[in-house]
């Protein structure tokens, strides 16, 4: 699926190419603009590699289906947009609780509700983090180019498998529908990871053991149909998977569930840094908005203004250490550009406190933030 040489690809198409290269063999979904091409491409391509495509009756069932397929040992994915992502939240929480590896793609559009289905937005950032109820960690990756739509899809599957967790791929409509000339890595160049399987015999296997995995806090995962019989529930459970109301057991398991992500934050968080060494003004942007931010920063540099950019590639966990590094250099201001009214700006303001001014550049109603608007904010900050 990843032949060498330049290709003209759409972002949504690149997601499917990356997913299949990472080992995707089951997709369950429901068409919704602007992610529909992902379902269409999966329907066409998965049968050619021995995979299965199912169009479900709704987004709730789609999320349930990929949980079941993953527990049967198959790498699984679904794709949607804002309203469908809302419907997936209960079963997404189940995947977190059951520690079920899977990938959920959300190609964001303008909301709330049906909003503007064909227009771009970045309004699901906080829903990605807090959409499912209860105390839980989540991993969300955000590409800003077609090539990254490919590479970060592979990365999403690797993280899901390695950490036994659902992973969200958070595109926006611009990146999803953008077409670019790209050269994708070959199969031999890719690093593809699979979940750790148990080495214990079925009678001794505990699906939620505290200390059996190679990564601390991540238990090996057997597959149904391979001789292992085990219980998975959304209820708080012990190491054997069966429900418990014992506070001591519940607290240990809940802490392990969160710490397997938070304790590995340094391995999970990725950012792009541009001209940060001497930056007097730092722009933070992600997804399609980062493309405008990069142009604005380079234009500012050409005019003698010391501007820099920090692009979160990993939206969640939040790049707190990287923002602290920015704060330590005492810039005159941090500019946060988002196609929303301010979502990632909230944790950034928490880190910066009162010592560094945080300036927002926001746009709604499906309008892209243009480089000139960010450049104007940079000049005002100086």
| 140 and 18 together in one domain | yes
Residues 273-295 have a mean pLDDT of: 98
What percent of the chain is predicted at pLDDT more than 70?
A: 99
Residue 259 has pLDDT above 90, yes or no: yes
Residues 329-344 have a mean pLDDT of: 98
**Cα distances (Å, whole numbers) of residue 103 to 78, 100, 137, 141:** 7, 10, 15, 11
pLDDT band at 212 (very low <50, low <70, confident <90, very high): confident
Query: Cα dihedral sign for 114, 66, 153, 274?
Result: positive
pLDDT of residue 173: 97
CATH assignment of the domain containing 352: 3.40.50.920
Write phi, then psi, for 358 (nearest 5 degrees): -115, 120
pLDDT of residue 11: 98
User: Residue 359 has which token pair?
Assistant: 């300036």
| 33 and 151 together in one domain | yes
Task: Select from 157, 189, 221 the last residue of a domain.
Answer: 189
Rounded-to-integer distance, Cα 125 and Cα 338, Å:
10
- 59: in domain: yes
Domain of residue 61: give its range. 6-189
Task: Select from 189, 215, 247 the last residue of a domain.
Answer: 189
| 11 and 139 together in one domain | yes
Per the prediction, the chain carries an average pLDDT of: 96
- 132: in domain: yes
Say if residues 75 and 46 touch (Cβ distance below 8 Å).
no
**pLDDT tens across 155-208, in order?**
999 999 999 999 999 999 999 999 999 999 988 899 999 999 999 999 999 999
- 261: in domain: no
- 197: in domain: no
Residues 260-283 have a mean pLDDT of: 97
| pTM as predicted | 0.96
Strands 179-183 and 6-10: antiparallel
Rounded-to-integer distance, Cα 280 and Cα 357, Å:
12
Residue 1 has pLDDT above 80, yes or no: no
H or E element in which residue 315 lies: strand 314-316
Say if residues 370 and 292 touch (Cβ distance below 8 Å).
yes
pLDDT band at 3 (very low <50, low <70, confident <90, very high): low
Rounded-to-integer distance, Cα 86 and Cα 366, Å:
20
Residue 2 has pLDDT above 90, yes or no: no
Rounded-to-integer distance, Cα 121 and Cα 82, Å:
10
Q: At what angle do helices 146-163 and 11-22 cross, to 10 degrees?
A: 30
| Helix-strand-coil split of the chain, %, nearest 5 | 40, 20, 40
The three state secondary structure string of 167-221 is EEEEEEHHHHHCEEEEECCCHHHCCCCCCCCCCCCHHHCCCCCCCCCCCCCCCCC
pLDDT of residue 374: 98
**pLDDT tens across 4-59, in order?**
789 999 999 999 999 999 999 999 999 999 999 999 999 999 999 999 999 999 99
Task: Select from 165, 189, 213 the last residue of a domain.
Answer: 189
- Burial group, residue 208, by CB count within 10 angstroms (0-12, 13-18, 19+): buried
The three state secondary structure string of 95-129 is HHHHCCCEEEEEEEEECCCCCEEEEECCCCHHHHH
pLDDT of residue 92: 98
- 344: in domain: yes
pLDDT of residue 368: 96
Domains held by the chain: number: 2
**Cα distances (Å, whole numbers) of residue 111 to 68, 200, 285, 336, 374:** 30, 48, 20, 20, 23
**pLDDT tens across 102-151, in order?**
999 999 999 999 999 999 999 999 999 999 999 999 999 999 999 999 99
- Sheet containing 333-338: order of strands: 271-274, 307-312, 281-284, 333-338, 358-362
CATH assignment of the domain containing 178: 3.40.50.970
CA proximity to 234, closest of 132, 158, 145:
132
């Amino acid at each position: 699926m990843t032949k060498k040489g330049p290709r003209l690809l759409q972002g949504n198409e690149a997601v499917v190419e990356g997913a299949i290269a990472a080992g995707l063999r089951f997709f369950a979904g429901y068409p919704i603009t602007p992610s529909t091409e992902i379902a269409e491409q999966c329907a066409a391509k998965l049968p050619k590699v021995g995979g299965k495509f199912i169009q479900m009756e709704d987004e709730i069932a789609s999320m349930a289906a990929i949980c079941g397929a993953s527990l049967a040992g198959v790498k699984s994915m679904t794709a949607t947009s804002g309203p469908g992502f809302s419907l997936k939240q209960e079963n997404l929480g189940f995947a977190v609780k059951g520690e079920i590896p899977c990938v959920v793609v959300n190609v964001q559009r303008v909301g709330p509700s049906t909003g503007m289905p064909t227009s771009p937005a970045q309004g699901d950032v906080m829903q990605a983090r807090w959409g499912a109820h209860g105390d839980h960690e989540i991993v969300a990756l955000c590409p800003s180019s077609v090539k990254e739509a490919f590479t970060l899809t592979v990365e999403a599957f690797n993280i899901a498998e390695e950490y036994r967790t659902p992973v969200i791929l958070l595109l926006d409509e611009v990146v999803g529908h953008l077409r670019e000339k790209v050269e994708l890595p070959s199969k031999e160049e890719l690093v593809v990871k699979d979940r750790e399987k148990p080495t214990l015999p079925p009678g001794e296997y505990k699906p939620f053991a505290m200390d059996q995995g190679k990564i601390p806090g991540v238990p090996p995962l057997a597959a149904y149909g391979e001789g292992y019989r085990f219980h998975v529930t959304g209820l708080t459970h012990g190491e054997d998977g069966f429900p418990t109301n014992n506070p001591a057991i519940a607290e240990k398991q809940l802490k392990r569930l969160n710490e397997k992500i938070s304790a590995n934050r340094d391995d999970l968080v990725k950012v792009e840094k541009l001209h940060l060494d001497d930056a007097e003004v730092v722009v933070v942007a992600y997804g399609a908005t980062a493309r405008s931010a990069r142009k604005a920063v380079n234009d500012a540099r050409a005019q003698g203004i010391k501007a820099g950019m920090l692009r979160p590639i990993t939206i969640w966990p939040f790049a707190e250490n990287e923002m602290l590094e920015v704060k330590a250099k005492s810039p005159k201001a941090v500019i946060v550009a988002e196609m929303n009214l301010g979502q990632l700006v909230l944790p950034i303001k928490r880190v910066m406190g009162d010592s560094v001014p945080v300036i927002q550049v926001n746009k709604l109603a499906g309008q892209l933030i243009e480089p000139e608007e960010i450049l104007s904010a940079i000049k005002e900050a100086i």
